[in-house]
Structure 1
Amino acid sequence: MLYNTAPDKLFIPQTAVDPLGFGKVAIVTGCASGIGLAVTQVLLAHQFQVCGLDVAEFDYQLLREADHGRFHFHRGDLTAPGVCEEGVRIAAHAFGSRVDVLVNVAGMMDNFHSADGVSDDIWDKVVAINLTAPVKMMRSVLPFMKAKKDGVIVNVASTAGMSGAIAGIAYTSSKHGLIGATKNVAWRFRNDGIRCNAVLPGAVDSGVGKTIAAGRNNELWDSEAFAEIEPVHALQARPSESTGSITAHEVAKTIAFLVSDQARTINGVSLPVDKAWGVV
């Protein structure tokens, strides 16, 4: 009912506006698949305007048609010079010269090589996308957030960011580094109204999870190193029928909480989303 039937009663209008995202702009890297796609879908459901960045093409059929007008996609390789800065400029231009939220999701798995076998190519690629690109993205959005004394950054790290028994040395180092960058930004800009947190997903049914599952057939796979890590993976990689696996949308919903005002006092944390895997 739009109006009260009696004019002498308090009028409280019903609203379909979601205060979490209405009028706000979010940038999501790695938006075309996995956790990045789930974050894009969830933020759009909360009425954010979202600029998605990815090296792969985006399938608009994975979004509700009603959300297309609030979504802008820019394709680019975040490890290439100037692409992170370009993506932020495009987002600000598309949605009114503001950036309220940055979610750094884009990342890649390594081939489980240890320090005695990792190649320069794998090291450089993994660190570039998992650590250097997120830092460049943060550097690019901070001026917008500082100008209005408000902003939220969420970095998608990993259980490997706290453990040495999850992945190879490149992925492990990059995610440890991302957690360090998260803490540094949180402390440095805490008085500017900016929050920076990390989520630490466990074994998620996503692109990284599929990479691990298919890795045994890869000639670059370090079978000897993975044999040392496999028992740790087995602690979560075999979910029970009652609990199931961790989904990308469960991670996305955790990120939505960290973005919300309900988490306004949470800053600089590394929040596991792993069904207690990280306590081992």
Structure 2
Amino acid sequence: MTESPRFTAACVQLQGTRSVDRNLEAVVALVAEAARQGADYVQTPEQTGIMELDRRKLFESITDEAGDRVLARLRAQARELGIWLHVGSLAIRLSDTQAANRAFMIAPSGEIAARYDKIHMFDVDLPNGETYRESRTYRPGTTAVVADLPWARVGLTVCYDIRFPYLYRALAKAGATVLTAPAAFTKTTGEAHWHVFQRARAIENGAFVITAAQGGLHENGRSTYGHSMIVSPWGEILAEAGTEPEVIVAEIDMASVGEARQRVPSLTHDRSFQPPVVEAERRAS
């Protein structure tokens, strides 16, 4: 009987600033630390390169993909360390008025194995007065993406996507056994929903969920929740960060996916159905 694949996964938690140079210095150091701890796969958070809410200043700081120095340095680092490096997302300039919130899966060769543009835009007004309009700056992606690593097929998503379970179901149906949602979750929504979302997406799909996050009070005035997390297919939290920059690591035994999906084979029980009809309307017709 063939032994199920195992690998060591790490999440790098950041407290991003408005300075690309400072962010790059911090992420390179923490990725190196993750590799020293034996990580084969390392994930960074959403907006690894810059945390900037001022639209004008953001566009002054970002470039197209070819010119992005964070991406270039992390590609080189993946090659130097011989690891799979999942850049949770970078703000990639598409035009003078639009950017992509784009994730990158970088192979140990330094080549980009997959790209994913965040599909769901965080356009909300929170009760505490915080307001976000991602769609003013970012062009939504239109395509779900999986990437094949030596041990698993990985589904790529970003942050707010976690609230849309049909996306993760589609990824699992496409063969994903590891789901990811690198994030910069607000402190307010994180305190209410973060743990539930991470565990629910894992349980629903019988898959590992690995999520690196931004955490703490940022110099742009925004507070993010942190609590980077690695969750098993049975919903167990294998590793969890606090709110400060750090590295968390867990061993991933892919046999757990088959065991969870055998115990509760819900992926094989999906059924098509007609959209709901309001009962009063049905009686009237």
State the TM-score bracket (shorter-chain normalisation).
0.3 to 0.5
Greater helix share, structure number: 1
Q: TM-score, normalised on structure 1?
A: 0.36
Higher strand share: 2
For the pair shown, the structure with the greater C-alpha radius of gyration is 1
